[in-house]
Amino acid sequence: MHVYLAARHVTLTDELRAYTEAHLLDPIRSHTGLNIIRVEVQLFAEGPNGGCHVLVEIKGHKDINVREMQDNIQAAVDVAKDRVIRNLTEIRDKMLTQRRHPKKFSFGRLRRALGWLSDNRSRQT
């Protein structure tokens, strides 16, 4: 996996680089089941707010493109991480459940699609 980390209109300090590595890049690296080719992360500031733009290129699938604006850059990195991980999980679940011969089913995804509650397995109204 090739990682490209850049900062626009912000100085990329060692603390900011370490925070981005720990909170964004390590969870993407540890995500299993997908062949991630490249990750581009751009940290930027627009006025008083900070932002994070993440592009994840996956072999054989569409790219994941996420842009987040929050009060500071660290908060934007956290929200972008949540969105990227959710998209990676959806791609992996789709790959597992929609093959010609699926290996296993993601019961969490099926439960969400059918509207079942996780505690008593009754339908939501």
Q: What HEC string does 38-80 produce?
A: EEEEEEEEECCEEEEEEEEEECCCCCEEEEEEECCHHHHHHHH
Q: Is the pLDDT of residue 80 over 80?
A: yes
Domain ranges within the chain, ordered by starting residue? 2-114
- Tell me the per-residue pLDDT of 23-54, one tens digit each, with 9 for 90 and over: 999 999 888 778 899 999 999 998 889 999 99
Q: What is the CATH number of domain 2-114?
A: 3.30.160.100
* More confident position, 93 or 63: 63
Stated pTM of the model: 0.75
C-alpha R_g of the chain:
17
For 70-77, what is the mean pLDDT?
Answer: 94
